Amino acid sequence: MSHTVWVRNHWWWDPADDETRGDSCGWVLYRRDPGGNPMRTDMAKGFSYYAADNTRAVRSRLTVDDVLFHGPVKNLDEAWRHVQHAISRDGWLNDDLNETRRRDGRWHQAHWFTCWRNQQPQPVSPVLLPEGFRFNRTGWVEADAATLELP
């Protein structure tokens, strides 16, 4: 019997740099749409997901150890204030995605913010995502485990 799994796009992760790379803290900031949420909103301790690298290969499974914040924020600065105990300000502000979106004004409006801490990533045998496989705008997708050949 098949089941669904969640996969997160870690497009910044180059497997040549680190074979077992996974973030100790993960986060997503997005506008909530009335028609549905683009990511899992009931994230809690014990939730597991897979991470795909910049070659579109799934290489690790991560498990949430703690949800640091989950709720609405007015902008990127407010989001950081909720997690400053876990993420350095330099790391937060020097993130390419944050810099780009701050510069073009996309982070200066109300959003929904989720930040979590992961346990040590568990490497999995690399699985290349099928051609045409698409992540939603937050970098998450729920997919059939059998189709992706994931455990």
Neighbours of 106 (CB within 10 A): 14
What CATH number does residue 62 fall under? 2.30.130
Please tell me the distance from the alpha carbon of residue 128 to that of residue 56, in angstroms, as a whole number.
Answer: 6
| Residue 147, domain member (yes or no) | no
Domain housing 91: 4-142
* More confidently predicted of 49 and 95: 49
52, 32, 25: which is closest to 139 by C-alpha?
52
Find which of 35-44, 58-67, 97-106, 107-116 is predicted with most confidence, using mean pLDDT: 58-67
pLDDT given at position 85: 81
Domains held by the chain: number: 1
Largest Cα separation within the chain, whole Å, is 47
Neighbours of 58 (CB within 10 A): 23
Residue 149 lies in a domain: no
pLDDT of residue 59: 86
* Structural domain includes residue 116: yes
What tens digit of pLDDT does each residue of 27-84 get? 777 776 655 555 666 678 999 999 888 788 898 888 999 998 988 888 778 888 888 8
Residue 62: in which H helix or E strand, if any?
Answer: strand 57-73
Is residue 56 domain-resident?
yes
Contact 142, 49 (CB under 8 A): no
Asked whether residue 91 is domain-assigned, the answer is: yes
Confirm whether 46 is domain-assigned.
yes
Matching residue, tokens 């074979």: 19
Q: Examine residue 151 and state whether it is found in any structural domain, yes or no.
A: no
